[in-house]
Amino acid sequence: MTEDRIARRRRAAVAVTREAKSSLPAKVEEGIGLRVLNLFDDAPGFYAAEEIRSRVVVDERFLSILLRKMVEHRLLIAERVDGREMYWDPAVGFDPRRGVSKQLSIFPLRFPLVQATKRARDHLRRRMLVIPRERLTRKEFYYLPLWRVEAEVPLGRTQGRAARQFYVNAVTGELAYPVYGRITFEEIPRKDALRLEPIASKSVLERVPPARVGEAIPLAKVGPAQAQEIVRTSLGAKPIASEPEVVLLPIWRFDLASKADGHVRSLWIEGAFGSVFREAP
């Protein structure tokens, strides 16, 4: 986040605090709004009002007004999760392990390090005719958060609707779907919703407590309501009442160094189906 953007957020937090105080006069410090934002900066996640109040000591009634004002000014986003109203900071994003769900779903790792390395080297061998020789210099493993959204798609004017599940990249907002057994990410898929197959059925996913996931996870920037809206607007599907769930996709990143000039580029191998990406998915 740039210094100019940080300064604007600070000014907005102070202005929102004053606005909240005009609605309910209270003896609170002018920087209370900034302290709320700092909570999301220090530990990005989803927080209920009572969790925020336990960390930022403030009158309960005033906090309720302050949070509402922060949502109105887009400093925070309110989401309904497990029947509770939760808040997250769109400027920071959120760690799916923090407050989003009591359990996370994970795709099985079918390409552990040895197989993923082989896949990367096979990719290099196919490219050696057009680029200088390269060697693998560094590897990293992490999980990419996706939203699994259940929705209904129309079958026709008189044929009703069919239930489908779709996957939305929680970092970029792109839709994920399989093409010839590999995963691709696109903002606008080339297939319509009825012909768009899910990456995998719900039954193959492993459910684990968030505390068991110790690997890195990039901060998500797309919330559950936004994921449903992406499915609705991009595919014309109607999300059903059930809340989207976070699903973690295993990713290997390999750094490749040119033997000619030392130039380094990266290659990503998705660990569930072996998909290869030249840019971060």
What's the total number of domains in the chain? 2
Task: Classify 82 in phi/psi space as left (phi over 0), alpha (psi -120 to 50) or beta.
Answer: left
Select from 73, 88, 103 the last residue of a domain. 88
DSSP H or E stretch at residue 251: strand 245-258
* Domain harbouring 49, CATH code: 1.10.10.10
Residue 171 to residue 273: CA distance in whole angstroms = 20
Least confident of 29-43, 78-92, 117-131, 175-189: 117-131
Do 76 and 120 share a structural domain? no
The answer to whether residue 102 is domain-embedded is no
Listed residues 88, 105, 139: the one ending a domain: 88
pLDDT value of residue 10:
87
Contact 95, 217 (CB under 8 A): yes
- Host domain of residue 181: 113-277
DSSP conformation letters of 156-178: ETTTEEEEEEEEEETTT--EEEE
Whole-angstrom distance, CA of residue 181 vs CA of residue 192: 18
130 pLDDT tier (thresholds 50, 70, 90): low
Domain shared by 82 and 129, yes or no: no
Predicted pLDDT at 93: 97
